[in-house]
Chain A
Amino acid sequence: MTAIAARVGGIRWTDPKTIGIGGIAVGALAFWLALPPLASRTAVLPILLGILAIAAGIWTWSREEHRVGGGAVAAGVLGIVFGVLATRSSEAHLDTVVVWSALLAATLRYATPLTFAAIGGLFCERSGVINVALEGMLLTGAFFGIWGAIWAHGWAPGWEWVIGLITASLAGMVMAAVHAFWAIHLKVDQIISGTAINFLALGITGYIFIDKYGDTGTPGNVADYGIPDVHIHFLSNWYFVGPIIGQLNLMIWLSFVLLIATYIFVFHTPYGLRLRSVGEHPRAADTVGISVYKVRYTAVIASGAIAAMGGAYLSLGFVHSFNENMTSGTGFIGLAALVFGKWRPFPTWCATLLFGFSSALSDRLPNAYGNQWGTLFNALPYVLTIVAVAGVIGRSIGPAAAGRPYEKQ
C-alpha cells in the first residue's frame, strides 16, 4: 500500500533524493518569496521555509544521500539569510535591483564567455591535461578577434565578425598548441606551462595592443560590425520571455549549441569515449590501440579554439572594444565552473549560469545599495568553488590522469 502511495505519477515521493531536491526547491522559494513581484514583507516566511528545507536536507543526509542533502541544507541557510536581508531592505530598492527579465538576460550575457571557457577546459582536462591557461586563451581570443575584425573591415564588408572569430580561434589554437607541446611531449608540469601561457597572452596582447592602438584604443565603430544579435520578432512581445531571449547575441545561441554538441560528443560517441579513457587511464587506452598523444593534442588545441571564441564574444559581441587584461579573471571563473560542475557539460553550464547570475546581480546592486556590495559579490563564484572542492556538497574529483604526462612504451 505504501509502495503504491509512494509512486504516484511515476515519481517516488518518499525517496531520499526526491525529498532532498524538494528541500533545495523550498530553500530557493524562501528567498524568491521575499523578492518582487511577490515581495513578502514578513521575515517569518523565509525563516519557516528555510528551516523546512534544512530539515529535509538533514533527513536526506541521514539516508546516505550526502550530496543532495548537503545541497538542501545549504539552500535552506542561504534562503533564510538572503530572504531576511531582502525583507529588511526597502521595496523600492528591491524593485531597482530585481528586474527578473533584465537580470536573466544579463545572466546569459555574463555566462556565455564562461561557458566557452569551461567547455574548452572540459575537453582539455577530460583528456588528462590540466588547463590553467584558459584565462590566457580567452584573452588571446579577445584581442585577436577584434584585431581580425578591424583588419577585415577594409576588404570584407559584412564578414568582419566571421573573420574575427576565425583569427581568434587560430590564435587560441597557437597558444594551446604551445601548451600541448610542452605538456605532452616535453612533459613539463602542466601548471607551470599553463601559467606561462597566461603571462605570454597577457604580454603579447598588451604589447600589440599598445603598439597598434595604444594612443586611441580600438576604433569606436567596432559595434557596427561586431558579432550580430539575433532578433526573434514574434517572440519579442511575449510577456517575460520576450525581453530575455528576444534579442540575444549570436554567440549566446552558439554556446547552447556547443553545450549540447559537447554532451553528445563526449558521452555518446566513440571519440568521446576515447577522450575520456585517455584522461582516466591512458595506459589502458594505449593498450587497445588509441593514440594517447593524438587524442591529447586534438583535445588541447580544440580547447584553445573554443576558449578563444569566448574571448572573441567578450570583445566583439559584448563590449565592442579591447583593453589590456580585459578578461580579468573570466577564464578562472570558467575553470571554477568546470570544477564546480565536476567536469560534466550540463552541471558545468548550470555553474556558469549561477556565476553569471552573481555577476549580473553584482552589476545591479550598486544602483540601490552602493558600490561596495556589488564588488564583494564578485567573490561568490570563487567561494562556492572552494566549498565544492572541500566536499561540503559532494566532492569534485577530476579525471584521474589529469596533470600526469604519459610516457609511451
Chain B
Amino acid sequence: MSDHDQELTPEEVVPAGGEPSPQQHFRSRFGGLSGTVAPIVTTIIAFLMGGLVVLFTGKNPWKVYKAVFKGTGLNWFFHVGNHHARIPFSTHKMWFPWDTASVAAGNLQQTLLLTTPIILTALALAFAFRCGLFNIGGQGQYTAGVIFAVWLGSSFVHMNPFLHVVLCLIAGTLAGAVWAGIAGILKATVGAHEVISTIMLNWIAYWVGSYLFGEGGPLQGSQASIPISNDIADGAKLPVFWGIALLQGLSIGIFIAIGMLVVYWIVINRTTLGFEVRAVGFNPEAARYGGISVARNYFLAMAISGAFAGLAGALDITGWEYRIGENDIQASQIGFIGLAAALLGRNTALGVGVASLLFGALINGTSGRQLDPSIFRPDLAGNLTTIIQGLVILFVGLNLGGLGVWLKKRRKPA
C-alpha cells in the first residue's frame, strides 16, 4: 500500500452503487495500516493514557514506567563495560562489552522468551491480513501447537534428541496449520466468515486443551490431583544458549522466530505464492480475473498463518515451559497479543519484530516476577498492560487521514 492510496477522497472509497467493491472494502478495512509515524504516535498515546490511569490510582506514572522498564531488562544494553562471556555451547570465554550474568541480563532473557511466540503469532495475523483475511484465531492455533508439542515431547523418551525436538516443532506447526486450515477451507468453499469460524475454533481449542490436561484427562501427568501434563523428555528440549535452563534461560527459539521473520519477508515479497496472496488481498475479483485461484489462496494463507501460530506454541513448550497445565491453556493470551503486535507492526517483517519486542518487554516488565511490588502492584500492572494493549489496537487501526477528512467536513457548513 503506497501513500497514494491514502489520498483517495471519500467519493472514491465507496462508489455510487452503495456496495463498495472488494478492493475498496479492503482499503476501508486496512487502509490505515501503513506508514511508520502513526504506530509510534499510537504507542505514545497509549502509554500516556496508561499513565493517566496510573495517576488516577494515586501513583507516580513516571516511577511506575521506570520500574517496568527496569523489569524488562532492556537497560542491559546501556551498561557497557569490560566483561567476559562464555561462548555458547562451549567452555571458552571471550571479551564482551556487556555483563551476561547480571540481573538485567536475566530480565532481558525473560523478555526475549516472551517475544519469541509473540513474533510468530503476530506473523500469523500478518500473513492472513496480506490475503485480506482476519485470522483472529491465533490463540487457538497456538494452543493446538502446544498440545501436539507436549504430547509428542513427553511420549518418545528414548528418541534421538535432535530428531525429537524437530518432530515436536514440526508437529506443532502442522497442528496449527490444520486448525487454521479448517477456517480456510470453510472460507474457500462455502464462504463462511473467517472471523466467526476462527473465534469458535479458539474456544474449541481452549476446552479441548482444558480437557486433555485437566484432572482425569488423557494427557494429564502422573500426579493424579494436579492438572498438569508430564514434562517433555530432555531430548525434546531446545538448547539454552544464554542463562540457566532451570531458571528459564533463553533458548535458540528466538533465532527460529527471527528466522521466520525473514522467511515471511521472502515469501510475501519474493515468491509467486506471496504475490498471489497479496493480489487476492488487494482485490479478489481482479485476482480471479488474472487467473489466480482465490479459494486456493484463501486456504493456503490460512494454513500458513496457522503454521506460524502453531510453531509459536511448539517453541514455547520446547524452549522453556517443558510442560503445560489446564490453567496455562486457559490464561494464555499470546494469540491476542500477537494481534496487537501485527497491527502495530503494520504487517511488515521489521515492524512485527519491533512491535513484538515492545509487547514482550511490556508484559515481562509488568509481570509479578519482575515488577517491584513496593512501587506498583503487579496484578494492577498486568491489567494496565491489557489496557495499553487495548488502546494500541483501538488507535492503530485508526485511519488518521480519515479523521482529517471527517474534521474538514465538520468545519464546512452543510
Q: Give residues in A with beta carbon < 8 Å to B.
A: 130, 132, 178, 182, 185-189, 191-193, 195-204, 206-207, 210-211, 214, 281-284, 324, 328-329, 332-333, 335-336, 339, 370-372, 375-376, 378-379, 382-383, 385-386, 389-391, 395, 398, 404-407, 409
Contact = CB atoms under 8 A, between A and B. Distances in A.
Contacts of A188: 32, 397-399
Contacts of B197: 386, 389-390
Contacts of A379: 203-204, 206-208, 211
The binding surface of chain A is classed by DSSP as helix
Given A188-B32, A207-B387, A404-B20, A375 B214 contact: yes
B200 A386 contact: yes
A124 to B, nearest CB: 14
Contacts of A182: 394, 397-398
Given A211-B57, A282-B18, A283-B17, A375 B387 contact: no
Given A186-B402, A391-B190, A335 B215 contact: no
Interface in B26-59: 28-30, 32, 53, 57
Contacts of A324: 383
A211 B384 CA distance: 11
Given A282-B18, A379-B206, A385-B196, 20 more contacts: A182-B394, A182-B397, A182-B398, A186-B403, A186-B406, A187-B28, A199-B340, A214-B379, A329-B203, A332-B199, A333-B203, A371-B214, A376-B207, A376-B211, A389-B196, A390-B190, A395-B190, A404-B20, A404-B25, A407-B11
A15 B196 CA distance: 34
Contacts of A282: 18
B259 interface: no
A284 B18 contact: yes
Nearest to A201: B390
A379 B201 CA distance: 9
Contacts of B25: 404
Nearest 10 pairs of A and B residues by beta carbon: A283-B18, A199-B390, A203-B386, A203-B387, A200-B390, A196-B394, A379-B207, A206-B383, A196-B393, A192-B397
27 contacts: A185-B406, A186-B398, A187-B399, A187-B402, A188-B398, A189-B28, A189-B29, A189-B30, A189-B134, A195-B336, A196-B393, A199-B340, A202-B383, A202-B386, A203-B389, A206-B382, A214-B379, A214-B380, A284-B18, A335-B196, A372-B211, A375-B211, A382-B200, A382-B203, A386-B200, A386-B201, A391-B192
B215 A371 contact: yes
A192 B379 contact: no
B354 interface: no
B53 A207 contact: yes
Contacts of B339: 195
Interface in B175-211: 182, 186, 190, 192-193, 195-197, 199-201, 203-204, 206-208, 210-211
A350 B196 CA distance: 19
A210 B57 CA distance: 11
Interface in B373-412: 377, 379-380, 382-391, 393-394, 397-399, 402-403, 406
B208 A376 contact: yes
A30 B383 CA distance: 49
B317 interface: no
Contacts of B97: none
Contacts of A284: 18
A52 to B, nearest CB: 29
A198 B390 CA distance: 8
Contact of B13 (A191, A211, A389, A407): A407
A332 B203 contact: yes
Interface of B: 10-11, 13-14, 16-20, 25, 28-30, 32, 53, 57, 134, 136, 182, 186, 190, 192-193, 195-197, 199-201, 203-204, 206-208, 210-211, 214-217, 330, 336, 339-340, 343, 377, 379-380, 382-391, 393-394, 397-399, 402-403, 406
A405 B390 CA distance: 21
A188 B206 CA distance: 29
B390 A398 contact: no
A403 to B, nearest CB: 8
Contacts of B208: 376, 379
Contacts of A405: 28
Contact of B136 (A195, A197, A200): A195
A409 B16 contact: yes
Contacts of A398: 193
A195 B330 CA distance: 18
Contact of A214 (B18, B28, B377): B377
Nearest to A182: B394
B207 A378 contact: yes
Nearest to A386: B200
